Amino acid sequence: MTEYPTALGASSLEKITLLGQDLAQDVMGKVSFGELAFWLATQRRPAPGETRVFEAVLAALADHGFTPTAIVTRLTYLSAPDSVQGALAAGLLGGGSRFLGVTEDCGRFLHEAVSTVEEPANWDEVALETVQARRAAGKFVPGLGHHVHKNGDPRTARLFEIAREEQQFGPHLALFEAIGRVHPQVLGKTLPLNGAGACGAALADLGLPLELLRGFALLARTAGLIGQLAEELRNPVANDIFLSVDLNNRPVPPAGGSHG
Amino acid sequence: MTEYPTALGASSLEKITLLGQDLAQDVMGKVSFGELAFWLATQRRPAPGETRVFEAVLAALADHGFTPTAIVTRLTYLSAPDSVQGALAAGLLGGGSRFLGVTEDCGRFLHEAVSTVEEPANWDEVALETVQARRAAGKFVPGLGHHVHKNGDPRTARLFEIAREEQQFGPHLALFEAIGRVHPQVLGKTLPLNGAGACGAALADLGLPLELLRGFALLARTAGLIGQLAEELRNPVANDIFLSVDLNNRPVPPAGGSHG
Amino acid sequence: MTEYPTALGASSLEKITLLGQDLAQDVMGKVSFGELAFWLATQRRPAPGETRVFEAVLAALADHGFTPTAIVTRLTYLSAPDSVQGALAAGLLGGGSRFLGVTEDCGRFLHEAVSTVEEPANWDEVALETVQARRAAGKFVPGLGHHVHKNGDPRTARLFEIAREEQQFGPHLALFEAIGRVHPQVLGKTLPLNGAGACGAALADLGLPLELLRGFALLARTAGLIGQLAEELRNPVANDIFLSVDLNNRPVPPAGGSHG
Amino acid sequence: MTEYPTALGASSLEKITLLGQDLAQDVMGKVSFGELAFWLATQRRPAPGETRVFEAVLAALADHGFTPTAIVTRLTYLSAPDSVQGALAAGLLGGGSRFLGVTEDCGRFLHEAVSTVEEPANWDEVALETVQARRAAGKFVPGLGHHVHKNGDPRTARLFEIAREEQQFGPHLALFEAIGRVHPQVLGKTLPLNGAGACGAALADLGLPLELLRGFALLARTAGLIGQLAEELRNPVANDIFLSVDLNNRPVPPAGGSHG
């Protein structure tokens, strides 16, 4: 008989355990939600400083106003108000490579460079080599540049500060910060270190699984999308968005054709 | 030109605001994730006691082991490892009427009864009338009964305790507790007040939007599903689950037929 | 050992069967996709006339231009171009009670009335009673009314015609047509029988499972959403839609507050 | 004012157009569902032979029994029976790189090779170079190998046959067939050309958009998943699947730890 081992939730007649703890007595009322999310993902309880950095990241990623994901959740709820789970799931499905992916891409990119370095490292040198190699390969440096915050993303400096306060400023953040210093001499222009990239660096320094960094962005965004739905209930805009598209459709003849 | 009002995230060259706050200076590092989720959903900052009850609810709902939602997330990740967002979204889609719906159903049901009552109320009387009316209509009482915790769900008593400690024990919890006392004389048997129902009562007492109570269960579950994925990465079981079904398929002839 | 019976796909070293047929020899090249979808849903092979009505329904429901579901699929693809499955799934999640639900609601509503009638029936009498009962209960009649086609939905008359040509005009369509004749004397105004409702009636007459009528609308819509994505690749509009919302956001102060 | 051009659905008071056609008069009852899906994706009407090949591909991909996607749809419906759209969407989300991705990967891979070749080509030579290059790069050849049909996938030969009958056997299928002939001399073993890969070759020969080849697999699978749900309604197995996992869970201590 196949068995399925797990250290997560389990129930018996009298007791529920989660991560080896008594859920009712030792988790409820004692473990904050951010701490619990960290613990679930790593199966080790974070120190308070780790939780503070982790929750700062979640705050940084929770909501960015009328993003595609927010619009999608509102439109799906308009269309299928019977299914809150569908509206949230639809919004999360936009959490892919373009809008939420920077966090994961940056964390993985930094980790690759960091893994080859022995500490103590001269991070400016590592950063210079890394940016040069990236440029030579014709690839962007993840986490550099922002379409709005051209003079600097306010989340980045603040996350560096919090990580330092909590002694969680590790090699990924150090390398990311160094990239911010050295890239102009390689790229010939100064770009801001964006907040999504800084979040990826911080999550990697916290030892969270790199394959799931996108997952933490999605957790944060779930809270944001619930906020979007709550506002939609109070002050609906989805029908206006729908009509602004539908009423401005312009019929054109079919294209015909095939791939070239 | 149509405008879309929002009090959630907004960005300018130098600054990001969220809920009217400076995101970097006043939210990051200062607001826990549970507190922020509450604030996003209500657009008012919760008191510390409210946050503690809210986070206790999230802990109670985060993970229940190998539920259908957990299995679905693991199988979807097996099948499409390129899309963490798809695996999480697929799991959340199971958060409907049967497995995660009790929280919302119970909150709405209690709210309907509570809305017609003037306080101070004799909750045992209200509970008796409510359960009798429900029975007369041939309907179940939401939040009563549990297939495992037949002698009492340990989360329920603990949530009552935390809500009392924080002065958040309001009319919904009071009515729910009273239903626990009086239902045996109507139904002729004693059923436990389940934890999912208690969570619905607590969320309603916190003033969270009733239409979105299911959403908070889904937020909690998102953290749980990330935990499931992290464990799947470390100790995979999804392929065994898949094979345990596929290898035990038994071909039968098509049924033919139509609805009767 | 638990076994899982199924009449759908099964494979052995040499052969693949589907619905008891040899997939390669007896299905591929011989069974059209519409016919196969019908067969999969009912486990009986439809007659050609049944397939023609079924495919007419699918054509009627495949695409309605810039609906919320189409916008959602395009925005999700903009945001996560790495996941076509996510973009399609997100669009389908809008197929709920409001925009795609009429087909199912109407099929179920008609079936309930039809089940109580012995044939041959005087459908005008049945329709009159049904509409009167609905009105007395303060409920809408599913399938009546359309926000654009106020003088008649062109799909309805055409579907009646095709069903008659194929001898598939059964009691559900008969009752629906009769509702079109008699409702003005009850409601005091003349409303069109909409195409989505007619599709529900036709699917019910074909003996398709009532619990899944929405599923056929979703199957049709999947083809439509692929068309939307193909057009988005050729002539993208999703980024303009996103910007038309984001650039017209108007920050307002948080609402505060709770449910009343 | 931004306008949104489209050649897909549009409505006016009297008329609905789709792809420039009158939906009611010229599409319903005249265009099969497979033909319509092709037309929507390419904006050109396929010839009957193209439709037959396209529908053979859809039949080949519609259902493969208890795949992860089928299990996911059944479990999601068990958990949230209120949302058929959620159950279908959840199943489709498994249509990613591992289980449904071969069709798209193979079509793209063949197209890359085909684009560099002038016809008439010696396909065995092209195939040899292509397989050698792939091997040198340490990569698998998409479409080669099958875990069950080790002596040959019956769908592949049949699809070659149908494509030839309809004069739709183009360069992608020709190269794929040649790979089947020449790969043993490079790889030192004989692998079957799998059906999913053959489908990708056929779809590419039909001129369907390469970015959306996965989409056609998903369209086929939508019909299959509706079949799975219909069977689940008639002969439920999802609860047994769930219990077979949940009852065989084995609690283990938390792992602790971080990425290495």
Query: What does the pLDDT profile of chain B (260 residues) look like in tens digits?
Result: 789 999 998 888 889 999 999 999 999 999 999 999 999 999 999 999 999 999 999 999 999 999 999 999 999 999 999 899 999 999 999 998 787 789 999 999 999 999 999 878 899 999 999 999 999 999 999 999 988 888 889 999 999 999 999 999 999 999 999 999 999 999 999 999 999 999 999 999 999 999 999 999 999 999 999 999 999 999 999 999 999 999 999 989 998 754 43
Interchain CB distance below 8 Å, A98 and C75: no
Phi, psi of B178 (to 5 degrees): -65, -40
- pLDDT tens column, C118-170: 878 899 999 999 999 999 999 999 999 988 888 889 999 999 999 999 999 99
Torsion B95-B98-B99-B100 (CA) sign: positive
Provide CATH code, domain A101-206: 1.10.230.10
Among C19, C252, C259, beta carbon nearest to B209: C259
Q: Do A28 and B56 touch (CB under 8 A)?
A: yes
The string of DSSP letters for C75-141 reads HHHHH-TT-HHHHHHHHHTT-STTTTHHHHHHHHHHHHHHHT-PSS--HHHHHHHHHHHHHHTT---
pLDDT, tens digit, for every residue of D30-44? Answer: 999 999 999 999 999
Residue C256, pLDDT score: 76
8 A C-beta contact, residue A96 and residue C81: yes
pLDDT given for residue C192 in this prediction = 96
Distance from CA of D245 to the nearest CA of A (A): 7
Report the alpha-carbon distance of residue C168 to residue C145 in Å, rounded. 24
Query: Touching check for A14 and chain B: CB below 8 Å?
Result: yes
The pairing of beta strand B4-6 with beta strand A249-251: unpaired
The answer to whether A138 touches A255, Cβ cutoff 8 Å, is: no
Average pLDDT, chain C: 94
Q: Which two tokens stand for residue D90?
A: 């959840």
Q: How does DSSP classify residue D99? A: T
Q: How many residues does chain D have?
A: 260
**Chain B residues whose beta carbon lies within 8 Å of the beta carbon of residue A37:** 33, 62, 223, 226-227
State the pLDDT at residue A259. 44
| Nearest residue to A117 (alpha-carbon basis) of A178, A61, A165 | A178
**Cβ-based contacts under 8 A for chains B and D:** 137
- Find the CB nearest A43 among D82, D256, D259: D256
Q: Where in chain C are all domains bearing CATH 1.10.230.10? A: 101-206
pLDDT at C258 over 50: no
Say what percent of chain D tops pLDDT 70: 98
- Give the per-residue pLDDT at B260: 37
pLDDT of residue A120: 84
Residue C241 near residue C73, CB atoms below 8 Å = no
Chain A residue with Cα closest to D208: A258
Answer whether D105's CB lies under 8 Å from D196's CB. Answer: no
Residues of D in contact with C9 (CB under 8 A): 62-65, 224
Separation of alpha carbons C33 and C27, rounded Å: 10
Query: What CATH number was assigned to the domain covering residues D101-208?
Result: 1.10.230.10
DSSP D3-31: -EEESS-EE-SS-EEETTEEIIIIITTTS
CA atoms within 13 A on the CB side of C131: 24
Measure in Å the smallest separation between the Cα of D75 and chain C Cα atoms. 13
Residue in D closest to C10 by C-alpha: D65
The span from the CA of D98 to the CA of C85, in Å, is 13
Q: What is the residue-averaged pLDDT of chain A? A: 94
Side by side, which strands form the sheet with B21-22? Answer: B10-11, B16-18, B21-22
Tens of pLDDT, residue by residue over A115-138, are: 999 878 899 999 999 999 999 999
Give the integer Cα–Cα distance in Å for B32 and C220: 45
If residue D154 lies in a helix (H) or strand (E), which one and from where to where?
helix D154-165
Does B85 contact chain C (CB < 8 Å)? yes
- Residue B167 DSSP code: T
* pLDDT tier for residue D79 given thresholds of 50, 70 and 90: very high
Q: What are phi and psi of D249, to 5 degrees?
A: -70, 145
Neighbours of chain D (3+ CB pairs under 8 A): A, B, C
Q: Kindly state whether C245 is in contact with chain B, defined as any CB-CB distance less than 8 angstroms.
A: yes
Residues from chain D that touch C222, judged by Cβ atoms under 8 A, are 218-219, 222
Structure tokens at B190: 């004693």
Look at C28 and D222 and tell me if their CB atoms are within 8 Å: no
Query: Is residue D258's pLDDT more than 60?
Result: no
Decide if pLDDT at A158 tops 60: yes
Q: Which two tokens stand for residue C182?
A: 């008699």
Nearest to C223 by CA among C37, C15, C53: C37
- What Å distances lie between residue C182 and C80, C191, D1, CA to CA? 50, 11, 44
| Under 8 Å between Cβ of B86 and D93 | yes
C145 vs C65: CA distance, rounded Å = 19
Distances from the Cα of D191 to the Cαs of A232, D161, D177, in angstroms? Answer: 55, 20, 12
- Nearest CB partner across the interface for B18, out of A11, A40, A63: A63
**Token pair in block for residue C92:** 């389908």
Phi, psi of B20 (to 5 degrees): 80, 0
Architecture (CATH level 2) of domain B101-209: Orthogonal Bundle (1.10)
Residue C131 is predicted with a pLDDT of: 96
Torsion of the alpha carbons at C196, C201, C202 and C203, rounded to the nearest 10: 90
Residue in C64, C111, C108, C101 with CA at minimum distance from that of residue C225: C64
CA distance A87 to A232: 12
Instruction: Judge whether D255 and D100 are in contact, CB under 8 Å.
Output: no
Q: How many Å apart are CA C228 and CA C68, to the nearest integer?
A: 12
Which pLDDT belongs to residue A260? Answer: 37
What CA–CA distance (Å, rounded) separates C218 from D90? Answer: 13
Tell me the pLDDT tens digit for each residue of D155-172.
999 999 999 999 999 999
* Pairing mode of beta strands D21-22, D16-18: antiparallel
pTM for the structure as a whole: 0.96
**pLDDT score for A258:** 46
Number of helices (H) and strands (E) in chain D: give both, helices first: 11, 5
Q: Are C86 and B82 within 8 A, CB to CB?
A: no
Judged against a pLDDT cut of 90, whether residue D182 lies above it is answered with yes
Determine, for residues A58 and B219 on separate chains, whether the beta-carbon distance falls below 8 Å. no
Q: Does D251 touch chain A (CB under 8 A)?
A: yes
Q: Kindly list the residues from chain D whose CB atom is less than 8 angstroms away from the CB atom of residue C60.
A: 23-24, 28
ipTM for the predicted complex: 0.95
Q: Where in chain D is the domain with CATH 1.10.230.10?
A: 101-208
Q: What does the alpha-carbon distance between residue D203 and residue D58 come to, in Å, rounded to a whole number? A: 10
- Reading phi first (left if > 0) and then psi (alpha if -120 to 50, else beta), residue B249 is in beta
DSSP sequence for C17-39: EETTEEIIIIITTTS-HHHHHHH
> Is residue C147 less than 8 Å (CB to CB) from chain A?
no
- As a whole number of angstroms, the distance between CA B162 and CA B50 comes to 10
Three-state SS letters, C227-249: HHHHHHHHCCCHHHHHHHHHCCE
Q: Pseudo-torsion of CA B212, B214, B215, B221, nearest 10°?
A: 170
Subunits adjacent to chain C (3 or more Cβ pairs under 8 Å):
A, B, D
Angle between helices D33-42 and D48-61 (to 10 degrees): 100
* CB nearest D218 (choices: C158, C162, C222): C222
| Residue B198 touches partner A, C-beta closer than 8 Å | no
Q: What pLDDT shows up at residue C8? A: 94
Residues C213/C103, Cβ–Cβ less than 8 Å? yes
Cis amide prior to B120 (ω within 30 degrees):
yes
d(CA D211, CA D107): 10
Q: Are C67 and C99 in contact (CB under 8 A)?
A: yes
In chain C, residues with a C-beta closer than 8 Å to the C-beta of D215 are 84, 88, 226, 229
Q: Which of D69, D73, D75, D235 best tests the B interface by mutation, with the highest count of B CBs <10 A? A: D75
By Cβ distance, the residue of D6, D60, D219 closest to C28 is D60
Under DSSP, the state recorded for D211 is G
Q: Within an 8 Å CB–CB cutoff, is residue D257 touching chain A?
A: yes
Phi first, then psi: give them for residue D148, nearest 5 degrees: -110, -50
Name the residue with tokens 């004989």.
Answer: D190
Cβ separation of D257 and A42 shorter than 8 Å?
A: yes
Q: Which residue has the tokens 């996911």?
A: D72
Q: Which candidate, B199, C58, B223, D24, places its Cα nearest to that of A55?
A: B223
Cβ distance of B97 and D81 shorter than 8 Å: yes
The dihedral over CA atoms of B54, B56, B57, B63, expressed in degrees to the nearest 10, equals 140
Count of CB contacts below 8 A, A vs C? 138
Q: For the segment D199-255, what is each residue's pLDDT rounded down to a tens digit?
A: 999 999 999 999 999 999 999 999 999 999 999 999 999 999 999 999 999 989 998
Residues of C in contact with B210 (CB under 8 A): 259
Per CB-CB distance under 8 Å, the chain A contacts of C246 are 65-67
Which pLDDT belongs to residue A257? 52
Answer whether B98's CB lies under 8 Å from D80's CB: yes
Spatial separation of the C-alpha atoms in residues A178 and A95, rounded to whole Å: 28
Tokens of C29: 């090249």
CB contacts, 8 Å: D83 with chain A: 80, 82-83, 85-86
> How large a percentage of chain A has pLDDT more than 90?
85
Q: Provide, as residue numbers in chain D, all residues whose Cβ is less than 8 Å from the Cβ of B246.
A: 65-67
Q: What are phi and psi of B259, to 5 degrees?
A: -75, 150
| Secondary structure class of A18 (helix, strand, coil) | strand
Task: Give mean pLDDT, residues A203-221.
Answer: 96
* Distance from the D107 Cα atom to the nearest Cα atom in chain C, whole angstroms: 15
Mean pLDDT, residues A70-93: 96
Read off the tokens for A236: 């609906």
**Beta-carbon count within 10 A of A128 CB:** 18
Residues of B in contact with D83 (CB under 8 A): 93, 96
Task: Note whether D41 contacts C230, CB cutoff 8 Å.
Answer: yes
Q: Over chain D, what is the mean pLDDT?
A: 94
B145's CB contacts (< 8 A; 6+ apart) are B191, B192, B194
**Is there a contact between D68 and B249 if contact means CB atoms under 8 Å apart?**
no
